[in-house]
Amino acid sequence: MDSNYSAIPKNSFVELQIHNELPPPRSLNKSHAKLPHLDEESYVDSKNVNGLDLDDDFDDSLEYHVDNYPLIVGDGSNKHGLGISGAVFNLTTSIIGAGIMALPATMKVLGMVLGFVLIIVMGILSEISVELFVRFSVLCKASSYGEVVQCALGRPARILAEIFIILNNGGVLVVYLIIMGDVMSGSLHHTGVFDQWLGHGFWDHRKILILIVLVVFLAPLCALEKIDSLSLTSAASVALAVVFVVVACAIALIKLVEGQIEPPRMVPDFGSKKAILDLLVVIPIMTNAYVCHFNVQPIYNELEGHSPQKMNQVGRITTVLCVAVYAATAISGYLLFGNDTESDVLTNFDKDLGFRFSSALNYVVRIGYIFHLIFVFPVIHFSLRQTVDALVFEGSAPLSESRKRSLTLTVVLLGLSYFGSTMIPNIWTAFKFTGATSAVSLGFTFPCLVALRLGHHGDSLSVTERLFSWLMLVVAIAVSIVGVIGNIYSLNSKSE
């Protein structure tokens, strides 16, 4: 018998809407939906959710089991999207950047035992906050970090979150340029790669060298419009980070076997005011190392056959990989250089390490990591550009439809990053302030507030999840306050 209807493919998603003229379904699986009465002040309003027009996405008589709905309704095949491996590479690249270079210095402050434990704990907490954020992004049908925050907390909170993203990502890009300049042209106490190779020349001028790298290598990558275009460079950046970790661990093992390594400190030092001040600022620096939440939505939206379960899988693989890389880097770097460990451990690799082929390995470590940062830079820049566009050009056409606006923003942001890299003295200064403010807020404070706000009605959050969210929120606020006070006090101490 002929029919005007065609079969729906198994891998497609269908959005169901309940209209007023139709009777409600006779039965619904309890684990997936329920039909409570929500008053006018409920957090989901079919016409408007704190300023977001979500009329097509919500019915105010339903609470969805969010794990069963994709963020973007459409064909799940999405053959041109990111696979699991591509998404893992992009998310890993968002995490493993310049922060890895500061971890050996944090290990020097915290001691081996506490430092190792905190690397694991911070990784687990960060992954939990990412999963909560993805879960409620689905509920809001949001496509960016700011939209989720606005859905839960209102427009002022969205503006604040976007400002924090700009501060955090802008600070990270500045740090990348500082590291590139330190390694290539040297710093006050360390010799640059080009000086060791070629002697003195124009490359001694750090600002000129950074500008050349910015124009020749970074600008073309940053001009790309889609984050999935960066999946290959992200894979290369992860591979180079692994090379750095393997070489650093191998050198540390060789020196350990030969008895050239002094016994490391296992616990924090409380013996001086300076040591206590370092403890106050080092936790936010470690927090900064795991912040990737601003890139979760773009990666999710371009994930092939995206679903919360699939994104959670990406997040868990990424967390395991990052914890392993961070722990290996922090321990091997601290073992190698001990109390001489610099805030940017990469600068420590300018000297003879006391064994055969150490000079060659030093070059491999430093040059490899320069290319790693070059590949990481555009991924962080992507979310920075998107956030600035959403904040400054709100209501305009999507950035992907305006090539001129995209290129203009790229040029302006690269120029500001370059200017910042010439003004900030070292990466420790940048990390301790962004870590105590924007990083803690983006990674923990906002995700917890979103979960608690949107999980307030119904049973979206279990009792355990709610208690855990409150615990993370309290700890995040405490870390932020203590970190800011410690930073201000340390500055006052230096000025005196």
How much is the pLDDT for 201?
A: 67
**For residue 405, which of 155, 395, 147 has the smallest C-alpha distance?**
395
pLDDT of residue 204 exceeding 80:
no
Residue 428 lies in a domain: yes
**For residue 361, which of 256, 245, 195, 259 has the smallest C-alpha distance?**
245
Task: Identify whether the C-beta of residue 127 lies closer than 8 Å to the C-beta of residue 272.
Answer: no
Residue 27 pLDDT grade (very low, low, confident, very high; cuts 50, 70, 90): very low
> What does the alpha-carbon distance between residue 436 and residue 422 come to, in Å, rounded to a whole number?
22
Query: In 96-133, which positions are buried (b, 16+ CB within 10 angstroms) versus exposed (e)?
Result: bbbbbbbbbbbbbbbbbebbbebbeebbebbbbbbbbb
pLDDT of residue 140 exceeding 80:
yes
Per-residue H/E/C for 366-414: HHHHHHHHHHHHHHHHHHHHHHHHHHHCCCCCCHHHCHHHHHHHHHHHH
Residue 251: CB atoms within 10 A of its CB come to 23
Average pLDDT value for residue range 452-468: 78
What angle is formed at CA 172 by the lines to CA 155 and CA 236, rounded to 5 degrees? 115
Model pTM score:
0.72
Distance of CA 385 to the CA centre of its chain: 15
Q: Which residue type does 209 have? A: L
> What does the alpha-carbon distance between residue 446 and residue 460 come to, in Å, rounded to a whole number?
17
How much is the pLDDT for 157?
A: 94
| Beta strand ranges found along 273-319 (DSSP E) | none
Residue 127's domain comprises 81-495
**For residue 481, which of 253, 225, 237, 281 has the smallest C-alpha distance?**
281
pLDDT in tens, 79-133: 456 678 888 888 887 787 666 877 888 888 888 898 899 899 989 998 999 998 8
> What does the alpha-carbon distance between residue 322 and residue 88 come to, in Å, rounded to a whole number?
11
**For residue 133, which of 425, 391, 448 has the smallest C-alpha distance?**
448
Tokens of 478: 């405490």
**For residue 230, which of 220, 244, 240 has the smallest C-alpha distance?**
220
How much is the pLDDT for 154?
A: 92
Residue 34 pLDDT grade (very low, low, confident, very high; cuts 50, 70, 90): very low
- Average pLDDT of the chain, as a whole number: 76
> What does the alpha-carbon distance between residue 149 and residue 453 come to, in Å, rounded to a whole number?
10
CATH number of 347's domain? 1.20.1740.10
Residue 158 pLDDT grade (very low, low, confident, very high; cuts 50, 70, 90): very high
> What does the alpha-carbon distance between residue 307 and residue 300 come to, in Å, rounded to a whole number?
8
Task: Identify whether the C-beta of residue 338 lies closer than 8 Å to the C-beta of residue 262.
Answer: yes
Write the DSSP symbol of residue 348.
G
> What does the alpha-carbon distance between residue 447 and residue 469 come to, in Å, rounded to a whole number?
9
> What does the alpha-carbon distance between residue 357 and residue 302 come to, in Å, rounded to a whole number?
44
How much is the pLDDT for 457?
A: 56
Residue 327 pLDDT grade (very low, low, confident, very high; cuts 50, 70, 90): very high
Phi/psi for 140 (5° steps) reads: -90, -10
Least confident residue range of 39-48, 286-295, 371-380: 39-48
> What does the alpha-carbon distance between residue 454 and residue 26 come to, in Å, rounded to a whole number?
27
Q: What is the dihedral of CA 305, 311, 316, 319, to 10 degrees?
A: 120
pLDDT in tens, 118-135: 899 989 998 999 998 888
* Sign of the CA dihedral running 424, 425, 430, 432: negative
**Run of H or E residues at 64:** strand 63-64
Task: Identify whether the C-beta of residue 130 lies closer than 8 Å to the C-beta of residue 297.
Answer: no
Highest mean pLDDT pick, 143-157, 176-190, 249-263, 446-460? 143-157
Residue 4 lies in a domain: no
How much is the pLDDT for 120?
A: 92
Tokens of 488: 């201000």
Write the DSSP symbol of residue 21.
T
**For residue 231, which of 416, 83, 433, 452 has the smallest C-alpha distance?**
83
Residue 221 lies in a domain: yes
Q: Which residues pair with 52 in a beta bridge?
A: 49
How much is the pLDDT for 33?
A: 38
pLDDT in tens, 265-305: 888 877 666 666 667 677 777 777 788 888 788 888 878 87
Highest mean pLDDT pick, 32-46, 220-234, 320-334, 415-429? 320-334
Phi/psi region, residue 342 (left: phi>0; alpha: psi -120 to 50; beta: rest), is: beta
Residue 29 pLDDT grade (very low, low, confident, very high; cuts 50, 70, 90): very low
Residue 380 lies in a domain: yes
Residue 245 lies in a domain: yes
Q: Which residue type does 438 have? A: S
> What does the alpha-carbon distance between residue 97 and residue 427 come to, in Å, rounded to a whole number?
12
Residue 55 lies in a domain: no
pLDDT of residue 156 exceeding 90:
yes
Q: Locate tokens 């990666």: which residue?
A: 299
Domain count, the chain: 1
How much is the pLDDT for 56?
A: 42
What angle is formed at CA 183 by the lines to CA 188 and CA 285, rounded to 5 degrees? 85
Residue 75 lies in a domain: no
Q: What percent of the chain has pLDDT over 70?
A: 74
Residue 74 lies in a domain: no
